[in-house]
Copies of this chain bind each other. A is one copy, B any other.
Amino acid sequence: MVDDVIRNIKVEALDQVPIEKQWIELVERKGIGHPDSIADGIAEAISRALCRAYREECGAYLHHNTDQGEVVAGESAPRFGGGKVVRPIYFLLTGRATKDFDGIIIPTDAIAVGAARQYLAETVPTLDLERDVIVDCRIGTGSTDLRDIFRPSAGSAVPRANDTSFGVGHAPFSETETIVKGVSAYIDDTLRKKYPVIGTDVKIMGLRDGDTISLTIAAAMVDRYCSGIAEYMEIKEIMKEQIGAVARNYTSRHVIVDVNTGDDPDTASVFLTVTGTSAEMGDDGSVGRGNRCNGLITPNRPMSMEAASGKNPVNHIGKIYNLLSTQIAQDCAAKVDGIEEIYIRLLSQIGNPIDYPHVASAQVLPMRGADAKVMFPEIEEIIDEWLGNTALITEKVVNGELKTF
């Protein structure tokens, strides 16, 4: 147990069964077109667009929070060869933003609507934005406390925490975590390009049961790219095979892949959609209900309930500290030898500068045979350095270099 007098950094050793030795491990990822991910993505796109506008117009990132918002499912009539969306998906943009600063009017509502529509165009290109989508906006007016104005140019004071809250992060990824993220990326980057029938709404549920990893995949298929039930079944087989192959690159454990297990091909009751996302029919989405900011849902790990997406990247603890603790954990795992697992928790106190958390806690589980205590100074230093550089997180977020979901 080390205690940093300047910053309240506490590093301690953990003595627990490593995740890979636990019998059951669950890992989930909601793909980019899942309703919750769409909600997250829009919230974050709006925040980034606001930040850019604020920087351009006012030379500072002004107060805003768009970490709410709702995707209300539409209705659709999918059909092999191409069906139609019957009732558009409704997106409610909420939160608040500074609309007037020092005499400058920032068209926050128009920016939000524009950012949401552009994000949808880029992310779910199968959506017909002219017919299938309603983007509504009830963003309120926030006020920017002069104390908290953060000017990205030099000389600005470190922002103060907006809340008493915390962030958590861990590293490195377990095998199952690595596989779930890897498979998701493989589908997005490779498989969908080859098989556009695979929609963007792909949910991957990974279960490691001892040495068997089963991946249960729910993938919304796009009807216009699928001629009939035979082709549908074929693409499922292709997915099983290729995803299985990719997963096995990461592990020597036994891997099972299931795709759309709820299908009943006899009645042609299958996961067919017009747009490749279940938001078109029946599945609503909300900001902060999906992936944590490492891209995964990991009930075997400490998690924060805070939605990182859409929060302002300057002083909102629910965003900054979750991203920061994840970065710190990954940095420690990469640089410090002998770490089996590391968990970072950052706790703020409202009104204090964000680079001086109430507590910055690290828990290290050393690899078998390693001595945690030896690692403490190094870990502490890494934490200290990151805390001294929180503006970097802000910049990375604004530039879209850090994902929040």
Which residues of A come within 8 Å of B, CB atoms? 1, 10, 12, 14-17, 22-24, 26, 68-70, 72-73, 75, 77, 84-88, 90, 92, 94-96, 99, 105, 107-111, 113-114, 117-118, 128, 130-138, 140-142, 164-166, 168, 205, 207, 209, 216, 218, 261-262, 282, 284-290, 292, 297, 299-305, 307, 345, 347, 349-351, 358-359, 361, 363
Assembled-state Cα–Cα distance A155/B311 (Å): 50
Q: In the complex the two chains form, is B105's CB within 8 Å of A77's CB?
A: yes
Flag if B218 contacts A164 (CB, 8 Å). Answer: yes
- Are B117 and A130 in contact (CB-based, < 8 A)? yes
**CB of A3, distance to nearest CB on chain B (Å):** 10
CA distance A305 to B299 in the complex (A): 8
Rounded to whole angstroms, the CA-CA distance of A351 and B96 in the bound complex is 38
Q: Are A84 and B110 in contact (CB under 8 A)?
A: yes
| B94 contacts A72, C-beta separation under 8 Å | yes
Residues of B within 8 A of A363 (CB): 22
Q: In the bound complex, what is the Cα–Cα distance between A135 and B77 (angstroms)? A: 22
Partner of A261, one of B10, B130, B351: B351
Bound Cα distance A293, B30 (Å): 22
Identify 11 new A-B residue pairs, CB closer than 8 A, beyond the known A1-B23, A303-B303. Answer: A16-B17, A68-B285, A72-B92, A75-B140, A86-B108, A86-B110, A118-B130, A207-B358, A216-B350, A289-B307, A301-B302
Residues in chain B near residue A205, CB distance under 8 A: 164-165
With A110-B88, A305-B297 known to touch, is A284 a contact of B23 (CB < 8 Å)?
A: no
> How far is it, in angstroms, between the C-alpha of A105 and the C-alpha of B86 when the chains are bound?
8
Q: How far is the CB of A174 from chain B (nearest CB, A)?
A: 14
Chain B nearest CB, measured from A20 CB (Å):
14
Residues of chain B within 8 A (CB-CB) of A299 are: 166, 168, 302-305, 345
**Chain B residues, CB < 8 A from A307:** 289
A304: nearest chain-B partner, CB-CB: B299
Contacts of A22 in B (CB 8 A): 12, 363
B12 near A23: Cβ-Cβ < 8 Å: yes
Q: Judging by beta carbons under 8 Å apart, are A284 and B95 in contact?
A: yes
Which residue from chain B places its CB closest to the CB of A203 in the assembled complex? B164
A99 to chain B: closest residue by CB = B86
The residue that A70 contacts in the complex, of B75, B92, B292, with Cβ under 8 A, is B92
Contact of A349 among B107, B111, B113, B216 (CB under 8 A): B216
Alpha-carbon separation in the docked complex, A284 to B85 (Å):
25
A85 to B92, CA, bound (A): 19
Bound CA–CA A69/B72 (angstroms): 9
A-B contact pairs, 11 of them (CB 8 A): A12-B23, A75-B140, A75-B141, A85-B110, A86-B107, A86-B109, A88-B113, A111-B131, A134-B136, A286-B286, A286-B288
With a cutoff of 8 Å between Cβ atoms, the chain B residues found around residue A68 in the complex are 70, 72, 284-286
